Amino acid sequence: MVRDSGGGIDIGGGPDVRQRATDGDAAVRSRAEGIDTAAVAALHDRVLGPEHKSLPPAAWGRTVREFLATAPHLDDLETPVLTVERAALDVNREVMARWAATAGVRLAPHGKTTMSPQLWAEQLAAGAWGITLATAWQAQVARSFGVRRILLANALVDPAGLRWVAAESARDPDFEFVCWADGVDTVAQMDRHLPEGARLPVLIELGGPHGRTGARGVDAALAVAEAVLRSDRLELAGVGGYEGALAHDRTPDAVAAVRGYLDDLARLHRALAGRYERSALITAGGSAYPDLVVERLAGLADEQGAHGVPVTVVLRSGAYLIHDDGFYSGISPLTAPRAERPLRAAMHGWARTVSRPEPELALLDAGKRDLPFDEGLPVPQRFANGGAVPPGAHVSALNDQHAFLRLPGGGDVPVGSVVRLGLSHPCTAFDKWRLIPVVDSAAAARPRVVDLLHTFF
């Protein structure tokens, strides 16, 4: 990937000439990195206000840039608060980029995990092939920040969404968009609502029994492919699916189910040999089984000579950048002790003790409105001042705005004390925050706020 070196060249002339040169350099850099870096940088010029949860009133009326210039620390913020750790982000981004490159696959991280253009820009700059999204609206957010290549891991049958894709593709020849289809009726809806002259690349989605979307079986998927091939508005561009809907752990039965599904996806691709028009894209892989996707599918890229078109295998893992202390820490192949250089949990919750109504109970000020709970409850790790939480302390339930911290045998958790919480499932953590503080280190005695991430949910 070509990147701007960052070095300026004085081409002479007046300030207008130099400004045009600077703008041109920025445009070249944006195209190279697949996102409008100037639009992303402009997020730091947004004004902060009371709508930004956890930020103190002292931040209101200031831009992000101005607030960061005050060198704030975590303890300057209000609780509850969700933070992301800069050091862990950097490690995770590099670990996954190297792992994918070594495996011979491309990475289109699922942007719905964070809906943060700032993080998308970092992933693209690290070599990501594109950004995956799930809805037309999410794709429109991405395009508003200039994302050039979008993989929609879903069927697009919304009429307004289809018209938008057609118009955006006509407006910008460099824009690349591909979506899924899993039924003949889906193809008919696309045909019905796409304008005449539009040409939309489509992947045939293969599902599995008791799974989510996707044609149930290779034969059904082949019938969808035939419908695409008959269409004047659609182009057969590859195959895809999501193996994570078929398993939830790494038991032998779960691994066998995932492998069997991926083998069927490979069989579907081979059955379409010679039917692809320009190229073939094969995509699978959440953040739970990317190793199995590589094991079963990466070799298909080496068979492109047999298909007569280039073949690209793309992983859509999204949770790796944030990782967690719960579900993904237990199932990912890139976590300790499975990996020599493992991913690290980059997100934490921080909640303040507001009540001690019983000897074995403390109520914290973070609840379902603030922290994820669908893949495991928050886990108390330590006090913000570095002290250890009482042995056996655990969160037993979340209400809208409270966490029930159980203290078997009692424990010293004073009202006003702040507890750091390990969290599970970044996909349902980020969607509760429109602005997320980034700290230098969640293990520091007094973490420093070094950035603020905007999210678009």
The predicted-structure confidence for 39-49, as pLDDT tens digits, reads as follows 999 999 999 99
CA 108, CA 90: separation in Å to the nearest integer? 17
- Are the C-beta atoms of 406 and 394 separated by less than 8 Å? yes
Q: Which residues pair with 150 in a beta bridge?
A: 131, 177
For residue 304, what pLDDT is reported? 63
Average pLDDT rounded to a whole number, residues 184-200:
95
pLDDT at 25 over 70: no
For residue 306, what pLDDT is reported? 56
pLDDT at 110 over 90: yes
pLDDT at 123 over 50: yes
- Are the C-beta atoms of 322 and 292 separated by less than 8 Å? no
For residue 210, what pLDDT is reported? 84
* Average pLDDT across the chain, whole number: 91
Superfamily of domain 38-86+324-456: D-serine dehydratase-like domain (2.40.37.20)
Instruction: Using pLDDT thresholds of 50, 70 and 90, give the confidence band for residue 399.
Output: very high
Class of domain 148-316: alpha beta
**Please, which contacts does 62-71 make with residues 24 or more away whose CB atoms are closer than 8 Å?**
64/452, 67/452, 68/44, 68/449, 68/450, 68/451, 68/452, 71/448
Find the range with the poorest average confidence among 25-34, 328-337, 385-394, 445-454.
25-34
pLDDT, tens digit (0-9, with 9 covering 90-100), for 259-305: 999 999 999 999 998 899 899 999 998 899 999 999 999 999 877 65
pTM beyond cutoff 0.85? yes
Average pLDDT rounded to a whole number, residues 312-330:
95
pLDDT at 12 over 90: no
Distance, C-alpha 253 to centroid of its chain: 28
Locate the domains of the chain by residue range.
38-86+324-456, 148-316
Average pLDDT rounded to a whole number, residues 206-230:
94
CA 176, CA 150: separation in Å to the nearest integer? 6
414: left (phi over 0), alpha (psi -120 to 50) or beta: beta
Instruction: Using pLDDT thresholds of 50, 70 and 90, give the confidence band for residue 338.
Output: confident
pLDDT at 33 over 80: no
CA 152, CA 253: separation in Å to the nearest integer? 30
In order, the DSSP letters of 6-44 are -------S-HHHHHHHHHHHHHHHHHHHTS-HHHHHGGG
In sequence order, the 6+-apart residues with CB closer than 8 A to the CB of 438 are: 83, 84, 85, 86, 89, 449, 450, 451, 452, 453
Instruction: Using pLDDT thresholds of 50, 70 and 90, give the confidence band for residue 308.
Output: confident
Average pLDDT rounded to a whole number, residues 147-164:
97
For residue 13, what pLDDT is reported? 35
- Are the C-beta atoms of 333 and 339 separated by less than 8 Å? yes
Average pLDDT rounded to a whole number, residues 76-97:
97
pLDDT at 146 over 50: yes
CA 294, CA 306: separation in Å to the nearest integer? 20
What DSSP character marks residue 47? B
**Quick one: which of 202, 228, 233, 207 has its CA closest to 218?**
207
CA 280, CA 307: separation in Å to the nearest integer? 9
**Taking the CB of residue 45, how many other CB atoms lie within 10 A of it?**
10
For residue 91, what pLDDT is reported? 97
pLDDT at 209 over 90: no
Q: Which residues pair with 78 in a beta bridge?
A: none
